[in-house]
């Protein structure tokens, strides 16, 4: 299909962020043989409730960064935490930003760029909050998912106009 790079999400039914480093080396050899590079790791990092155990989640990010290094991938797709049901997402802004900043600190240690994807139910579900994230943390890149914006009632053209500088 004339591809030279892909975002990898699963390996043999397991999210790539959960495979062993040895398995990552096997995957890397297969990609090299096919003449492909892993542009990004499609991780579930940031897909926890904002007030869940964050230290354990940071350990998962560190492992995912190690996998990214084995695969020579410079990018990891992440999310900005699910908001507890029945609460206002804006009330969690400071906590979300602090955790994203900690995640960025970790990723810098591994030379990996984090890329935030909008998704229903997380802090960054609508364009306004995604823009707040990217203005506050400009080193965090943007993965623009129009279908996820549609699920939130967000006009996708408006969202793209707001976020295009970060995509």
Task: Give residue-wise pLDDT tens across range 7-51.
Answer: 999 999 999 999 999 999 999 999 999 999 999 999 999 999 999
56 token code pair:
């354990």
Residue 109 has pLDDT above 90, yes or no: yes
Residue 1 has pLDDT above 80, yes or no: no
DSSP 4: S
CA 70, 106, 39 angle in degrees (round to 5)?
A: 40
**3-class secondary structure, 26:** helix
**pLDDT attached to residue 167:** 93
Among 108, 51, 40, which Cα is nearest to 78's? 40
Residue 154 has pLDDT above 80, yes or no: yes
Q: What is the mean pLDDT of residues 137-150?
A: 97
Burial per residue of 69-93, b for 16 or more beta-carbon CB atoms within 10 angstroms, e otherwise:
ebbebbbbbbbbbbbeeeeebeebe
**Average pLDDT, rounded, for the chain:** 96
**pLDDT attached to residue 104:** 98
Q: Are 24 and 67 in contact (CB under 8 A)?
A: yes
Residue 135 has pLDDT above 80, yes or no: yes
**pLDDT attached to residue 156:** 97
Tell whether the torsion through CA atoms of 158, 42, 48 and 104 is positive or negative.
negative
Q: What is the mean pLDDT of residues 125-130?
A: 98
Q: What is the mean pLDDT of residues 124-146?
A: 97
76 token code pair:
């990891």
**Alpha helices (H) in 35-138, listed in sequence order:** 54-70, 93-110, 127-136
Report the C-alpha gap between 161 and 156 in whole angstroms. Answer: 8
Phi-psi domain of 90 (left: phi exceeds 0; alpha: psi -120 through 50; beta: other): alpha
pLDDT digits 0-9 by tens, 81-94: 999 999 999 999 99
User: Which residue has 């998962």 as its token pair?
Assistant: 60
pLDDT digits 0-9 by tens, 52-104: 999 999 999 999 999 999 999 999 999 999 999 999 999 999 999 999 999 99
**pLDDT attached to residue 71:** 98
**3-class secondary structure, 46:** coil
């Amino acid at each position: 299909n004339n591809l030279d790079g892909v975002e990898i999400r699963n390996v043999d039914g397991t999210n790539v962020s959960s495979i062993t480093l040895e398995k990552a080396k096997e995957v890397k050899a297969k990609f090299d043989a096919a003449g492909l590079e892993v542009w990004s790791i499609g991780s579930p990092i940031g897909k926890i409730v904002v007030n869940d155990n964050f230290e354990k989640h940071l350990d998962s990010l560190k492992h995912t960064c190690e996998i990214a290094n084995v695969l020579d991938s410079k990018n990891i797709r992440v999310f900005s935490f699910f908001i507890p049901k029945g609460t206002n997402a804006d009330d969690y802004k400071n906590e979300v930003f602090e955790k994203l900043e900690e995640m960025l600190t970790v990723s810098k240690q591994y030379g990996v760029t984090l890329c935030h994807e909008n998704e229903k139910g997380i802090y960054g579900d609508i364009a306004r909050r995604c823009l707040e994230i990217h203005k506050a943390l400009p080193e965090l890149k943007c993965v623009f998912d129009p279908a996820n914006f549609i699920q939130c009632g967000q006009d996708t053209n408006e969202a793209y106009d707001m976020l295009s500088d970060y995509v």
